[in-house]
């Protein structure tokens, strides 16, 4: 490998991370139509919804209808977030390919987001991973607030490593490191990744940058230089975390694809189809989206 990988995998989280934070509801049929358009872009992974408590995230209360209603394309992994065994049962009933379990590196965000201490979260997620594996599902783990917490500020790298160790010990297949509130800068990414990669192979680590302060693409560039080849993003830059004040959207898939293709890094994504899907959801949301790339498209 040269300075950058020749190919990266983009995991589209817009239908989950994007829509979970949208104030105006998007109709179930529109979500399904959007995911069907995303399936035609060449993306190999789409996180379609989450089976959390509908009172906590009313925007995704239609998780089962969405997961059951989409057209599955061969070669695409359709994933969903689950917080506990109840969520897993709901997800398995509609047959998702992969589940994502999630927790935070910081105590206060974990408490606000999933109503448990970090210590009390481990046995819950352990049960989910075990049950999902029995059903032959792959499991993705997420750690939030890796680079900073909206309540506690600085988060110690040791805390991130401790949570990562526990999640890998449970048997997760991949870990996504979340900059939930978009505070990371490239030097910090380098420092944290240096520690993480001392323990875990780069192939099992994904980066999940929110672009709150405009540093996401720079952080991705540094991550690639350190050997990371999987990135989460959200078409149009939709998104946030409703339990992280000030969190705004994920890095925009379309901006990321523009940068990567310009550098000669393959993604397998067709830009024309991607733009079509972006314009579709922009029109349904009814306001301009944060993506820069979309602002250059006139229609």
Residue 241 appears among annotated catalytic residues: yes
Among candidate residues 51, 55, 56, 141, the one with its CA nearest the CA of residue 105: 141
Residue whose CB is less far from Mg ion, 5 or 182? 182
Q: Does 17 bind Mg ion (CB under 5 A)?
A: yes
Query: Do 65 and 97 touch, CB atoms closer than 8 A?
Result: no
Which entry of 32, 99, 241, 278 is annotated as an active-site residue?
241
Q: Does 209 bind ligand HMG (CB under 6 A)?
A: no
Residue 198's CB is within 10 A of a number of other CB atoms, namely 8
Residue 52 near which of ligand HMG, Mg ion, none (CB within 5-8 Å, type-dependent): ligand HMG
Residue 51 near which of ligand HMG, Mg ion, none (CB within 5-8 Å, type-dependent): ligand HMG
Q: Which string of x and - marks every residue 216-255 that binds ligand HMG (by CB under 6 A)?
A: -------------------------x-x------------
Between CA 285 and CA 90 the distance in angstroms is: 27
Query: Do 12 and 38 touch, CB atoms closer than 8 A?
Result: yes
Q: Which stretch binds ligand HMG (CB under 6 A): 82-90, 151-159, 185-193, 196-204?
A: 82-90
Between CA 160 and CA 199 the distance in angstroms is: 12
What is the CA 231 to chain-centroid distance, rounded?
Answer: 8
Between CA 238 and CA 283 the distance in angstroms is: 13
Give how far Cα 146 sits from Cα of 10, 31, 223, Å: 20, 30, 14
Q: Residue count at the site for ligand HMG (CB under 6 A)? A: 25
The residues that are catalytic are: 241
Point out which residues bind ligand HMG (CB under 6 A): 17, 20, 50-53, 56-57, 83-84, 86-87, 90, 102, 113-115, 142, 144, 178, 180, 208, 210, 241, 243
Q: Which residues bind Mg ion (CB under 5 A)?
A: 17
């Amino acid at each position: 490998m040269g300075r950058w990988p020749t190919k990266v995998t983009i995991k589209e989280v817009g239908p989950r991370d994007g829509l979970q934070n949208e104030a105006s509801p998007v109709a179930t049929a529109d979500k399904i139509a959007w995911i069907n358009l995303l399936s035609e872009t060449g993306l190999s992974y789409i996180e379609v919804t989450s089976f959390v408590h509908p009172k906590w995230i009313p925007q995704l209360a239609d998780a089962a209808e969405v997961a059951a209603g989409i057209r599955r394309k061969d070669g695409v992994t359709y994933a969903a977030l689950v917080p506990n065994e109840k969520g897993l049962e709901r997800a398995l009933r509609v047959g998702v390919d992969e589940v994502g379990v999630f927790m935070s590196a910081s105590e206060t965000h974990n408490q606000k987001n999933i109503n448990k201490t970090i210590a009390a979260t481990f046995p819950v997620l352990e049960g989910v991973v075990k049950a999902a594996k029995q059903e032959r599902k792959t499991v993705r783990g997420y750690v939030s607030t890796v680079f900073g917490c909206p309540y506690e500020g600085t988060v110690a790298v040791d805390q991130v490593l401790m949570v990562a160790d526990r999640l890998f010990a449970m048997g997760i297949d991949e870990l996504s490191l979340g900059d939930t509130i978009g505070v990371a800068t490239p030097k910090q990414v380098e420092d944290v990744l240096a520690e993480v990669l001392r323990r875990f192979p780069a192939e099992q680590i994904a980066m999940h940058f929110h672009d709150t302060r405009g540093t996401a693409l720079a952080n991705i560039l540094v991550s690639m230089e350190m050997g990371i080849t999987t990135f989460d993003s959200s078409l149009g830059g939709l998104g946030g975390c409703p339990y992280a004040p000030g969190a705004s959207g994920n890095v925009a898939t379309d901006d990321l694809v523009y940068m990567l293709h310009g550098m000669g890094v393959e993604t397998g994504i067709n830009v024309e189809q991607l733009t079509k899907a972006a314009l579709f959801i922009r029109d349904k949301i009814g306001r301009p989206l944060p993506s820069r790339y979309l602002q250059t498209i006139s229609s």
